[in-house]
Amino acid sequence: MKLKSFSGGLHPPDSKEYSAHKPIERCPLPEELIIPAAQHIGAPADICVAVGDQVKKGQVVANAKGFVSVPIHASTSGEVIAVEPRLHPMGRELPAVVIKPDGLDQWQESLRQNDPEQFDVEGLKNLIRDAGIVGMGGATFPAHVKLSPPKEKTIDTLILNGVECEPFLTADHRLMLEESERIIDGINILRKVLGIDKAIIGIEVNKPDAIEKLTSDCAPHNIQVQPLKVRYPQGAEKQLINACTGRQVPSGGLPMDCGVVVQNVGTAAAISDAVRLGRPLVERVATITGPGIVEPKNLRITIGTPLQYLVDQCGGLNGEPAKIIMGGPMMGQTQLSLDVPAIRGTSGVLLFRDEDLPKKPAGPCIRCGRCIGVCPIHLQPTTIAAYARLEMIDEAENYNALDCIECGCCTYICPATLPLVQSIRHAKGGIMAKRRKI
Amino acid sequence: MENPLYLSSSPHIHSGETTDKVMRLVIYALLPATALSIYFFGLPALSVLLICTLGCMAFEALSCKLMKQPLTLVDGSAALTGILLALNLPPSTPWWMSLLGAAIAILIGKQIYGGLGYNPFNPALVARVVLLISFPVQMTSWTAPAPIGSGLDAVTAATPLGEMKTAVMLTGKLPEMATSGFGNYFLGNMAGSLGEVSALVLLLGGFFLLFKKVISWHIPISFIGTVLIIGGIFWLLDPSKYPNPLFHLITGGLILGAFFMATDMVTSPATDKGMLIFGCGCGLLTVLIRLFGGYPEGVSFAILLMNACTPLIDRYTRPKIYGQVEQKA
């Protein structure tokens, strides 16, 4: 049988063998937790605690500001020892609440266990928003916003993203293997919120154990497990929708424009906790890995734990680190230091040594066309990049630069080692700046 | 941590594909045909090969030095141009013509536009055509193969395509060699330029490139397919005047051109659809020149003419992007 997939893309070496077989371990609490007010796409939350305050685990420390925003919670009990700008994974100092754990890890008393059956759609959405649930694949888009499509959009399919197509990352894989009941419970809640029946979990066939486990566990729930061909970037929303349903999200549109809502499997698990246990999003599973780590692991981390502490839990550094990446090697962000905290969108921490980094200088484009072949949007990356280098922003726009999902396949494959996606990002910035001016 | 950390935007890994690897694979694919040409034509072939290859590399180094640019010999493209040029020349080419060809290929065909990646025309073919037009006598005096150890002397002979053209022009009929028993040309037993002599080993090299995914099937298949179809139509119309399409296939430079020259990435379209149009255009022009043109062989001219169309083809074959669909109401 031909496996479902999308057109374009490529298959970089998985490098998942570092951590795929390691069960999730709970990472102990560090000396201090750094909890930034900005951990999601949208307006940063408003900090509502002061230095000296005693906080409980799950207590709101920053309130949501507007609809596309979520509250931020204390991820353990303890004392607020600072409210100040701290180095953020985004690369600059941003407001954060610093908590010194008291070691008791006590939940706030007012948090209640709920029965999802007793809530209506709005009630469930409020629970999800108040728990600070965001897309946990790394995009951190507030979940309740995706679950509130305008009336004129008909949603008929819920897709769960269990693809984890980024090399090295295995957190979702382990979650699917070890905690399928949380994921399935979250899917049932999501279906109730959306008022639909159809749910598909997309998983690539390089995780046969997860496919087998979920297929048997999902059988009584009418949830379809869809095995997919191994192909990056299948975990990108648009590609996953295409692979699972054959539909395409219209250019410039959202998944809801083709009747689909996509949520990460980790997000589904967090939604289950939020509704059934009343517990906000204060921890997540992340893969700490790479050749620069002595013993790669999948850790259940408390939000706000500094990366240095996570590295220490994994046997420390293997050699001198040259690049610290939050997320995967294809789309992750490089970090200024190991002092930054892991946040809600931290799916992994990847350490490379100097010898692990590609360093060939860029040469001239030989028009081999490989970037066109691998582009999952079917753009002409080398053409857009050439326009971008010449600051010909209108031409780049005309070649659909804004449709680029920045997956990095073009740069990865380029034999001239040209920074193609980087140039396209530059063009996208220019196009957006021009549109703001008009 | 003593050393500073690298900060960069993603991606942070690379496939390891490089331009020099691509060039090296094409050179490997040409080695069997190169070796066979030396076997058939002996020392003269070797000297043409050496002068062209070393000449191209020397002119490449010279232009880098003159333009104060880093030396680009390591990317292998100059050596490849040299080998391709040699394979497009008769074995009897005098040394000064080989050297002149190398200079034309690198200086006028390539570096004047800015070097690798910027030349609109295939450099080796530019050189071949300049030489052909400037020195028609030397460029069309061929020798019959005299395999090393066979004891044969190199004797002047016509290429199969040349013999056919002369006969058709004089008598209006195909000569006998073009109607039957031309199968042994497949193994290279014919007069011609270095790289025209063996269809078989060139095909092996071409399949190697396809297998290694250095080239895609689109250009060679559409090029050769068009020659077979258009050539076949004429043959069916009048088999006494027009040759069997298989004669088109195994004589002359069709296979060399379709697998190694037309597929030059710099000068051919970048999309699948564009490559198909490009290949069909090359095939059509080749047959028209062979059957109705003044020159017996048309592959070089066909590819150069289509090179000129490449920007136009690219402009009209932009792929349909993901999401260009009707918005669901």
Model confidence band, residue B308 (pLDDT cutoffs 50, 70, 90): very high
pLDDT tens track for B207-231: 999 999 999 999 999 999 999 999 9
Cα separation of A223 and A259, whole Å? Answer: 17
Does one domain contain both A233 and A128? yes
pLDDT tens track for B6-24: 999 999 999 999 999 999 9
**Is pLDDT of A101 > 70?**
yes
Average pLDDT over residues B303-312: 97
Cα separation of B79 and B95, whole Å? Answer: 17
**Lowest-pLDDT range, A183-187, B61-65, B101-105, B236-240?**
B236-240
Do the chains contact at A415 and B7, CB–CB below 8 Å?
A: no
pLDDT at position A179: 95
Q: What ranges in A195-332 are assigned the alpha helix state H?
A: 208-218, 237-245, 265-272, 307-313
Average pLDDT in chain B: 89
Interface predicted TM-score (ipTM) of this complex, two decimals: 0.90
Distances (CA, A) of A286 to A67, A75, A183, A235, B298: 28, 16, 16, 16, 62
Model confidence band, residue A227 (pLDDT cutoffs 50, 70, 90): very high
Do the chains contact at B322 and A378, CB–CB below 8 Å?
A: yes
Average pLDDT over residues A404-410: 96
- Nearest CB partner across the interface for B13, out of A321, A412, A422: A412
Does one domain contain both A155 and A265? yes
Q: Is residue A261 part of a domain?
A: yes
Cα separation of B72 and B118, whole Å? Answer: 14
Residues in chain B, total: 329
**Is pLDDT of B183 > 90?**
no
**Is pLDDT of A10 > 60?**
yes
Which residue did the predictor score with more confidence, B267 or B295? B267
Average pLDDT over residues A231-256: 94
Q: Is residue A32 part of a domain?
A: no
Q: Is residue A252 part of a domain?
A: yes
Average pLDDT over residues B57-83: 92
Burial zone of B232 (CB within 10 Å; 0-12 exposed, 13-18 middle, 19+ buried) = middle
pLDDT at position B224: 96
Torsion angle, alpha carbons of A260, A266, A267, A272, to 10: 110
Domains in chain A, number: 2
Average pLDDT over residues B61-80: 91
| Boundary residue ending a domain (A277, A300, A321) | A277
B228 min Cα distance to partner chain A (Å): 27
A249 min Cα distance to partner chain B (Å): 5
Q: What percent of chain B has pLDDT over 90?
A: 64
Does one domain contain both A263 and A405? no
**Is pLDDT of B153 > 70?**
no
**Is pLDDT of B142 > 50?**
yes
**Is pLDDT of A59 > 80?**
yes
pLDDT at position B160: 80
CATH number at residue A169: 3.40.50.11540
**Is pLDDT of B285 > 60?**
yes
Q: Is residue A119 part of a domain?
A: yes
**Is pLDDT of B69 > 60?**
yes
Q: Is residue A376 part of a domain?
A: yes
Do the chains contact at A412 and B14, CB–CB below 8 Å?
A: yes
pLDDT at position A108: 92
Tell me the chain A residues in contact with residue B117 when contact means C-beta distances shorter than 8 Å. Answer: 363-367, 416
Q: Is residue A199 part of a domain?
A: yes
Q: Is residue A20 part of a domain?
A: no
Average pLDDT over residues B273-300: 93
| Boundary residue ending a domain (A277, A302, A337) | A277
Tell me the chain B residues in contact with residue A366 when contact means C-beta distances shorter than 8 Å. Answer: 19, 22, 116-117, 265-266
Model confidence band, residue B327 (pLDDT cutoffs 50, 70, 90): very low
Does one domain contain both A134 and A264? yes
pLDDT at position B152: 67
Do the chains contact at A257 and B327, CB–CB below 8 Å?
A: yes
**Is pLDDT of B57 > 50?**
yes
- What does pTM read for this prediction? 0.91
The range of the structural domain enclosing residue A401 comes to 370-437
Q: Which of B221, B211, B209, B293 is nearest to B254 (CA)?
A: B221
- Nearest CB partner across the interface for B18, out of A335, A360, A369: A360
Q: Is residue A152 part of a domain?
A: yes
Cis peptide before A376 (omega within 30 of 0): no
| Boundary residue ending a domain (A227, A243, A277) | A277
**Is pLDDT of A320 > 70?**
yes
**Is pLDDT of B328 > 50?**
no
